[in-house]
A and B are shown apart, each in its own frame.
Chain A
Amino acid sequence: MSLATLDLPARPIGLRGRLSDLLVRRGGLLTLLLLLPPLLWLGLVYLGSLFVFLGQSIFSIDEFSGTIVREPTFATLIELFRPANYDIVLRTVAIATAVTVLCAIIAFPIAYYAARHAGPRAKAAFYLAVMMPLWSSYLVKVYGWKLLLAKEGAIGWFAGRLGLTGALEAWLALPVVGGPSLSVSYTGMVLTFTYLWLPFMILPVQAALERVPGSLIEAAGDLGASPAKVFRTVILPLALPGVVAGAIFTFSLTLGDYIVPQIIGTSALVLGQAVYTLQGTAGNIPLAAAFSLVPILVMAAFLAIARRTGAFDAM
């Protein structure tokens, strides 16, 4: 057994070699060099802008001239609690809650089927079927619902064919959820939001359900629990972190949206619209900043609670 000798001329260590040596010897330097450009970008461009904008919530606006008074004050933040503004916040949180609950109800069977009953091929198909709408254009999806919900649109037509026109009109006649047509009602708005964010609920719930060992469900069944009881006492608690993880998305996305209410919805403002009008036509940047703090704070509170349920493992 033998190996031929390897005669290679020793190559001089050039600038590149010395740089490589330095990076290998000092791993921290490499990390720093890699991190610096993206950190500068996000830290300066993004965080900087964010602080400048949100920081203006402690300024106020001069009622007469409409200019910003650059003196620290709590007046603007307190203004959020004026009934008209407070209503906007409550209305938006209520819509977000309704959307989240609807998403959870529709998402659960899909996630459960994909996690526990689908074979590898069906699972891949399910995944794609959820991913495609998730990534397809937001505006296109909103547009799809505008088509469906329009007075002369498909939902109304199908309701007529099925003899449900009366039921639809009765629903639209209801005080809060109703309106002149589905496309200018809270019902339409909530449906559209539910549609938009549904994939964000399905994926984490499915991930959580996939972590429930099948033996656990069988064991509960062996111990004499009825399917309904197994579902309530075993499956639901174990799926909860996934639902909470999904709710983080559905809740936060609804809180910040202003386009759906603009296209499908009533004339009453939601948070996103309020921010939009305040920074635009009203020119009241301090109040816009104060309003922007609301979804951020609501989400921070939500995240703090979610952390306890283990929702982050399900994302």
Chain B
Amino acid sequence: MDFLGQLFNALPGSVSQGLIWGIMAIGVYITYRILDVADLTVDGSFATGGVVAVVLILDGWNLWLAMFIAFIAGLIAGLVTGLLHTLMGIPPILAGILTQLSLYSINLKILGKANQSVNVNQTDLLVSLRWVKEFAFHNPLITVSVVIVVLIAILYWFFSTEMGCALRATGANLNMSRAQGINTSFNKVLGIMLSNGLVALAGAFLSQFQGFADIKMGQGAIVIGLAAVIIGEAIFGKIFKNFALKLFSVALGSIIYYIVVQAVITLGFDANLLRLLSAAIVAVFLAIPYWKRQHKAKHMIKAKGGKSHA
């Protein structure tokens, strides 16, 4: 039972990490599921959030204010991608890649070097890996859970407003939206901004949690975000119909992802191959609905053919 013991020992850390990435995955949900756009900006904006937060915290700013500025930085990154797409007609995936690439330079400029540690002994932080087993309010499990609940409540409210409904309509049907007087370009930009704001906020939490910001910390973030969205839907899709619960299931999906990753590592899996594994899992999960549809279509043709012969 050495395996279970080790896993159990690592669980609080994995769950905390899953919660933090859950904020990021909720951001991905907004673009990928609501707006129907795969936005790759997130790999860059995640690091932007982490970098901005660490620089401001080391400069002695109020922690929550630093988080807010990180969120704003994410909004701006999203604005750039949104404008590249709507104003310059660049396909959304390519627009995201362009922003992501340019953010690499910008993040490097903000941080001044490739990585920067922020020591919890010397600096006040909101969350830290050191506290995951403490029975206290500043335990990241509690802090980040509260943040997620507040964020979901705000998003739930926002998507029920006129503006939020227009954003959902834009993702659901562009022709219908324009016919109903909705400025679809504006809403696309708004959605991509909101998404990247949340992603940057997650990056800001993660850099504190792990005690450093690294300009590569967002690499592959989109895959982790998609994995969380897909796992959450696969497991809770049948029971969670309410919008707030759907967002909640995305956060749960992220936690499950990190527990699985921890289990795989504890089992002795080569950690260098983790990203390959993540990508493979996401690829298979993305393929399943497509395969299901094809199977259905084949089935229908067979059924029809059978009738005509009878």
Q: Are A and B subunits of one complex?
A: no
Which residue numbers of B lie inside 8 Å of A, CB to CB?
Answer: none
A positions within 8 Å CB-CB of B: none
